[in-house]
Amino acid sequence: MSLPTGQEKHVAVRTMFDRIAPRYDMMNRLISLGLDQGWRRVALDLAQVGEGERVLDLACGTGDLSEAARARGATVIGADFAREMLRGARAREIDAEFTCADAARLPIATASVDVVTCGFALRNFVALPEVFSEIARVLKAGGRIALIDADRPKSRLVRFGHSLYFDRFVPWLGARLSDRDAYRYLPESTAYLPPAEELFAMLDKAGLQQVAKKSLLFGSAQILTGVRG
C-alpha cells in the first residue's frame, strides 16, 4: 500500500476513521490486548492532569482520553475532524465539549489550556510541525503535553515478534472484524513517524521544553511529554 501525503492523506484518514468508528473501541482493546487504557492513564499521570484544569484532547476520536481526563476533575474539550468518531464520543455522554476541527487549525483561544493530550494520532497528521505549533499556541505558559503513539521496538528479537503481531496478525484480524484497508494502514502508518530526536527537535522549535519520551511495552508504544516555555 502506498501511503498518501498532503490533501490526499487528510481526506483518506478522515474517511477511514468515519468508516471504522463503530468498531473502533472494540478493535483497540483487542489489538492492544487491553493495554491501551492503561497507557492513556500513564499519559495523564505524566501530564499531571488534575482537578479544574483545562485539557484539550486533540484528535480525541471516541473520547477515551477525554473521559479519563474528566474523571480526574479536568474541564475537557475534545477535538477531532472525523464526525463519526465524534458521534461515538458524544454517545458516551462524557461531561466534555466535543468539537469538529482540524488539528492544524483549532478553534481554541491562544494560551487557554493547561494540558494537551493526543492519543495515537501523530501518524495521521499531514504535517507534524503545523500541529505542534498549534499545540504550543493554545497552551498556557507552563502547560504540559502528553502525546501517545505507536512505536517500533529497538531490540531485534522483540522487533521480530512485534512485527509478526503488528504487521501480520493485526491486519488479518482487522480485515475479519472491521476494515481491511484501515488495519493494513495501521502498521504501515508508523513509517510516517520520525525518530524521537526529530520529534524532539520539532517540538522544541514549536516552543515546547523539557521534551522527553517514555517507552511502553518494550518500545511498542511511546508517550512524548513536554512543557510550554
Q: Residues in the site for ligand SAM, rule: CB under 6 A? A: 13, 17, 59-61, 64-65, 80-82, 85, 102-103, 119-121, 124-125
Instruction: Write down how long the chain is.
Output: 229
* Shortest distance, position 39 Cβ to ligand SAM, whole Å: 9
103/224 with CB nearer ligand SAM: 103
Q: Residue 120 corresponds to which amino acid? A: F
Pick 64 or 114: Cβ nearer ligand SAM: 64
How far apart are CB 188 and ligand SAM at their closest, in Å?
Answer: 14
Cβ atoms of 223 and 46 closer than 8 Å: yes
Q: State the minimum distance, in angstroms, from the CB of residue 61 to ligand SAM.
A: 2
Q: E-strand spans in 72-217?
A: 75-80, 97-100, 113-119, 139-150, 208-216
Could you tell me the CA-to-CA distances from 228 to 76, 119, 122, 141 in Å, in that order? Answer: 19, 19, 18, 5
Shortest distance, CB of residue 82 to ligand SAM, whole angstroms? Answer: 3
The dihedral through the CA atoms of 151, 201, 126, 102 has a sign that is positive
